[in-house]
Amino acid sequence: MLHKIISFVTATVLAVAGLTVTAAPAHADGCYTWGRTLSQGMNGEDVRQLQIRVSGYPGYGAVLGIDGDYGPATKAAVTRFQQAYGLPGDGIAGGQTFTKIYQLQDDDCTPVNFSYAELNTCNSTWGGGAVSSATARANALVSMWKLQAMRHALGDGAIRVTSGFRSVACNNAAGGASNSRHLYGDAVDLGAGPHTLCRLAQQARNHGFNGILGPGYPGHGDHTHVDHRSGRFWSASSCGI
C-alpha cells in the first residue's frame, strides 16, 4: 500500500508543478497483473490467480477449487466477492474487480492484513514440514486470502494469528498432532480478541475452511484452528459446531 501512496503523492506533486503525468495502471501488482476480463468458461493461470484471491468466498461449507478453470463455482465466488465490496455482482472479473483486488493486496500477493512472516514464525525457509517449501508457502497464501475474506465479513476487525506453518521440529515443540495440517502450511490458529473464538469458528464455515476446531474440541480452549484439509471436519461443541 505504501508505495501506492507515494506514487499518488509524486503524481500530485508533478501535477501541481504543471508537468504532464500519464496515469499508470493501478499497480499493487509487483507479483501479478491481470491482462484480460475473465468470465465463466475461460481458463489459464490468470484464472488460477483470481481463484486464489476469491477463495474465501465459496459459500457456506464449500471449498473453491484452485484449478485454473472458470466454472460456475468460480463465477459464484467472484459474485460474492463483488457484493462484499459493493461492486455489481455479475460474476465477471473485469477492471473494477481487479482494481479492488490490487487495493487489497501487497506486492508479494498477500492480502494487506496478513503476511508470510505472520503465517510462519517457525523458520524462514518454510522447509521441514510435510510438503515442499513452495507448496507450504502457496498453501499459506490461500489461507491468508480466506482469512482476509473472513476479516472483511467480520466488519474489518483484526484477526489475530497465533500459529501457522510448522516444520516437524516446530510442531513437536508445540505439541501438535503428528499429522497436523500446520505441517502443510495451510493451518492457522487464531486467538481471541476482538472476536471471540466461537465467533471465529462460526464465521470460518463461510470462507472455505474444511477444518475448523475450536472451544469444546480437546486442546482448543484457547484458540480456534482453521485449515483446508481434503474433507470436512468441524468441531467446536462449545460454539454449537
Residues forming the site for Zn ion (CB under 5 A): 187, 189, 225
- Distances in whole angstroms, Cα of residue 82 to Cα of each of 64, 94, 219: 16, 11, 37
Supply the residues annotated as catalytic: 220
Q: What is the per-residue DSSP string for 127-178?
A: -SSSS-HHHHHHHHHHHHHHHHHHHHHTTT---EEEE----HHHHHHHT--T
| C-beta nearest to Zn ion: residue | 225
CB of 123 to Zn ion, least distance (A): 17
Q: String of b and e for 113-148 (b: at least 16 CB within 10 Å)? A: bbebebbbebeeebebbbbeeeebbbbbbbbbbbbb
The nearer residue to Zn ion, 50 or 212, going by C-beta atoms, is 212
CB of 121 to Zn ion, least distance (A): 13
Pairwise CA distance, residues 81 & 3, whole Å? 25
The nearer residue to Zn ion, 12 or 179, going by C-beta atoms, is 179
The nearer residue to Zn ion, 46 or 186, going by C-beta atoms, is 186
The nearer residue to Zn ion, 46 or 189, going by C-beta atoms, is 189
CB of 157 to Zn ion, least distance (A): 21
CB of 125 to Zn ion, least distance (A): 20
